Structure 1
Amino acid sequence: MDPGARPEVSRGWITRYGLLYLGQNLAWAAPAQLLLARQILVWHPGDKEARLALLMAIGGVASLVGHPLAGWLSDATGGRRGRRAPWILVGAAVSAGCLAAMAAAPGFWALTAAWTVFQLFIAAAINSAQAVAPDGVPRHQYGTVSGVLGLTYTLGLVAGTAVAALLGTGPAYLVAATLLLAATAQFLLGFRDPTAGVAPAAAPREAPDPDPDPAPGRADRPAAGYRDFGWVFVARFLVTTGNYVALFYLFYFLRDRIGLADPDGGVLVLTGIYAACVVATAVAAGVVSDRSGRRRGYVAASSAGVAVACAVMAAAGDFPVVLAAAVLLGLSWGVFMAVDQALINEVLPSAARRGRDVGVMNLAVAGPNTLAPLLAAAALGAFGGYPGLYLFAGAVTALGAAAVTRVRGVP
């Protein structure tokens, strides 16, 4: 069905969809934020930094492979259960098993192996879940649904960190696995995959895709469709890179540049403010974007807001100024997360290969996550310390804001 003519999804459906995404993001946040570092500290206190960096690098490569691979596999899946539901279920089940294995891991290499498999299958679950919206949500609700995903992503990050901080290592892994399975079950039990019965994308010649292209007219102009997709990818990659670079050395920035006596507490305060601002703007921005029918301007303006927040950080000499930057950064990032995903849904060029294209677009997040430490270290040395680092992050983000304006098919 044409995305412009689909029936609306209910608030209950949107809530269950958001809870699914919350559980998926909680599952990776708990290990990534604290549990892995805690285990490695026990086993290898002398070279914990190098060991953790190695584990995260291996897992990062698995994630880079997992997202496009998962998208391709879900597109090629057919049958009465649809393209996405089987991979959401399989991804969650294997990921939960990996979390249990990580809780019982006897040493570093067993932990690394379980984390690598986890990254592959949580990518399958998340990627398939993200493709559900462009498969079945009407275009005029893209922003609302994407705003809920932005909200639950942030809540999942905070909740995963809280689970890891409040529980012992083994119980925290098991709680994360249980919550992932519960979040998946509550969504899939009432979910009818709109791709059920649709021929898999692997065999388009034998069975033409009955779902028309999401943007009318792009089916016979694939280059034009992928041109907009490409610019959105570039914009997302640059803005995400700028944001990650800006946050990477926050603890050291507060300690060495601002001279804060308690940099740990400062990071906690800033994280709380940042998360609260993201929550405050994510859903509201999505709803406003739906009502206006516009996406591009919101993404460009929020990207510019992130760039300005980086410039404020570059000029900051005391903690109140950093607090102001955190507010601006959180408000801007909340809008960006909400409307950027809606814009992605708008520019997916092929109805038959939405999973693959969503997987490729996710590389614009996984790539910066891998590159940010290297870029931050290089910028810190090359541009004269923290002011230069934050100006670099702001410049990268501003380029992302400019890239969004090159999109032509979406207002």
Structure 2
Amino acid sequence: MSATTSPSPVPTDDDQASVPVRGGVALALGCFLWLGPYLGVNAVLLPARVAEIAPQEKTGVIALLATVAMIVATLANVLIGAFSDLTRSRWGRRSPWLIVGSIGSAAMLLAVGRASTVGQLVLLWAIYQVFLNAIVAPLLAVISDRIAPRHRGTISSIYAFGYSAGLYGGQIIGAQFLGGLWAGFVVLAALTLLSGPVAVLLLREPSSRDLPRRHLSKAMLLDSFSLPRKDCRDYYLALFGKFLIISATFAISGYQLYILTDYMRLGDGSTAGYISSIATILMITALVMSAISGPVSDRIGRRKLPVVVAGVLVAVGVLVPAVSASPWTMLVYAVIAGVGMGAFNAVDQALNVEVLPNQDTAAKDLGVLNLANTGGQIVGPIVAAAAISAIGYRAMFPLAAALALVGCVLILMIRRVR
């Protein structure tokens, strides 16, 4: 069975003899086209815009934007994931949401680029999170819907390739527009607009009209719109382990502009060059590990070990800039953390699918798990801001390393997956 056949039931290993490459490419491109713009804005253009609007309160405003985004993203992920699971249409369960999410996210990025007050930024950034999660939750559910267990590591690797390209490529693109922020917002909005349509065209999702419909009841509402309640110990260990590891990485990347300018005292000319160099190193190392780690995980039949090793590498990488306030430490961080995050992203999605407590609510439950990504991207800078305010920039690095190591411990505690 290929990745373009009926979404129910989920293909077994016997059904899906070969790797469903088209489904993997759809995931990779769809992810790159939403995540690249998101990170280009979140890590580069948004901090630069905040510095123009409120230069004296920039760290506090970034923390406020992160907090509001986390709250909105949490609610949006659960609700949109649940509605996606319940959607019955000629275009399938996931495709309508991918299209609406892409259009809305692109429009909101343009609006954010024109915002002139902190209040406008907060409101528009919150609305953007709603539309963004209409892409994220349905797209992730494709792995659970249409990929047999034997191929999930490989497909997660293909997905991670797109994820890593977006994660770091978006920052490279964003850094090119530090001298002209509006043009950067336009380019990144245009890329976002392509995310859903590209994924939909490649996936060619069949109609979901014939799938069983759930009648309105208390049990249906609880299953569809609440967090998992049964057989979910491993699910929550995966959630919080992932959350802490992602938080560790984004404590650094979310503040890298200020680390370079305020901690390492670089001027504007050098800063743009270092941001591009760091992002390039992170991207190359992550892409290489993304291509290798998933197939290796499939071959050895293990998910936890590759994820934990990757988390330890992240912890080592984020600790390096504490050694010296010299720019070279950020380059070393990029090499070590890039290897770690590449391996982590390649295997983690396969781990997530295998700890799901209920296949029927896959989009909602994977959407909640993905909050570890979006939440970590948001909470990481909040933790960094607290460390900077209380002690100084040097304190944020050991704190980030500690987060990653605790996350590794939680992953090790998972029982269901080897």
Q: Is this contact kept in 2: 1:151–1:279, CA < 8 A?
A: yes
Aligned-partner Cα distance in 1 for 2:266–2:119 = 38
Q: Which residue among 389, 412, 416 is the counterpart of 1:409?
A: 416
After TM superposition, list the pairs within 5 Å mapping 1:129-278 onto structure 2. 129-166=139-176, 168-193=180-205, 196=208, 197-200=210-213, 223-224=230-231, 226-250=232-256, 262=270, 265-278=273-286
Aligned to 1:29: 39
Cα offsets for 1:309-364 (capped at 9, x unmatched): 34444445765555434312110111011111110011111111111111211222
Whole-Å separation in 1 of the counterparts to 2:298 and 2:374: 27
Taking a change above 3 Å as real, the CA distance of residues 20 and 202 of structure 1, as seen in their structure-2 partners, is farther
CA contact (8 A) 1:278 1:334 kept: yes
In structure 2, C-alpha distance between the alignment counterparts of 1:297 and 1:344, rounded to whole Å = 14
Distance in 2 (alpha carbons) for counterparts of 1:162 and 1:267: 7
CA distance in structure 1 between the partners assigned to 2:191 and 2:382 by the alignment? 34
Residue 153 of structure 1 and its aligned partner are, at CA, apart by 2.1
Answer with 275-284 or 256-265: which moved more: 256-265
Q: Give yes or no for the alignment of 1:390 onto 2:392.
A: no
**Distance change in 2, residues 1:101/1:287 (3 Å):** same
Unaligned segments of structure 1, at least 5 residues? 208-220
Summarize the Cα distance change of 1:312–1:157 in structure 2 as closer, same or farther, 3 Å threshold: closer
Match of 2:81 among 71, 81, 89: 71
Contact 1:229–1:347 (CA<8 Å) still a contact in 2?
yes
Larger CA deviation: 89-98 vs 108-117: 108-117
Q: Any conservation in 2 of the 1:316–1:322 contact (CA below 8 Å)? A: no
Distance in 2 separating the partners of 1:41 and 1:378 = 18
For the residues of structure 2 that align with 1:124 and 1:274, how far apart are their CA atoms? 27
- Kindly tell me: are residues 263 and 361 of structure 1, through their superposed partners in 2, closer, same or farther at Cα, counting changes over 3 Å? same
CA 231–118 in structure 1, closer or farther in 2 if over 3 Å, else same: same
For residue 404 of structure 1, report the CA deviation from its aligned partner. 1.1
SS at match of 1:239: helix
Instruction: Give the alignment of 1:372-391 within 5 angstroms.
Output: 372-379=380-387, 388-391=395-398
One of 62, 75, 81 as aligned partner of 2:72: 62
Q: Percent identity?
A: 29
> Residues 2 and 243 of structure 1: is their aligned pair in 2 closer, same or farther, counting only changes over 3 Å?
same
Provide the C-alpha distance between the structure 2 equivalents of 1:158 and 1:274, rounded to a whole number of angstroms: 6
CA contact (8 A) 1:242 1:397 kept: yes
The answer (yes or no) to whether the contact 1:245–1:376 under 8 Å persists in 2 is yes
Kindly report which structure 2 residues correspond to 1:93-132, keeping only aligned pairs within 5 A, or say none: 93-103=103-113, 109-132=119-142
1:372: how far off?
2.4
Question: Paired residues, what number?
Answer: 396
Q: Provide the rounded CA distance (Å) in 1 between the counterparts of 2:380 and 2:94.
A: 31
Contact map agreement 2:249 2:380 (CA 8 A) in 1: no
Distance (Å, rounded) in 1 between the aligned partners of 2:112 and 2:398: 39
After TM superposition, give the deviation of residue 129 of structure 1 in Å: 0.5
Maintained 8 Å contact 2:171/2:279: no
3-state SS of paired residue (2:89): coil
Say which SS state the counterpart of residue 4 (structure 1) adopts: coil
Aligned partners of 1:300 and 1:25: how far apart in 2?
A: 24
Q: In structure 1, how many angstroms separate the alpha carbons of the residues matched to 2:41 and 2:350?
A: 29
Q: Please give the TM-score of this superposition, normalised by the length of structure 2.
A: 0.81
CA drift of 1:273 comes to 1.5
- The aligned amino acid for 1:228 is D
Could you tell me how far 1:259 is from its partner in structure 2? 7.5
1:409 alignment partner AA: R
- CA distance in structure 2 between the aligned counterparts of 1:310 and 1:316, rounded to whole angstroms: 12
Distance in 1 between residues matched to 2:253 and 2:170, nearest whole Å: 19
2:88 aligned with 1:88, yes or no?
Answer: no
**Deviation sequence 1:7-44 (CA, Å, 0-9, x none):** 24532332233111111113323432344445555555
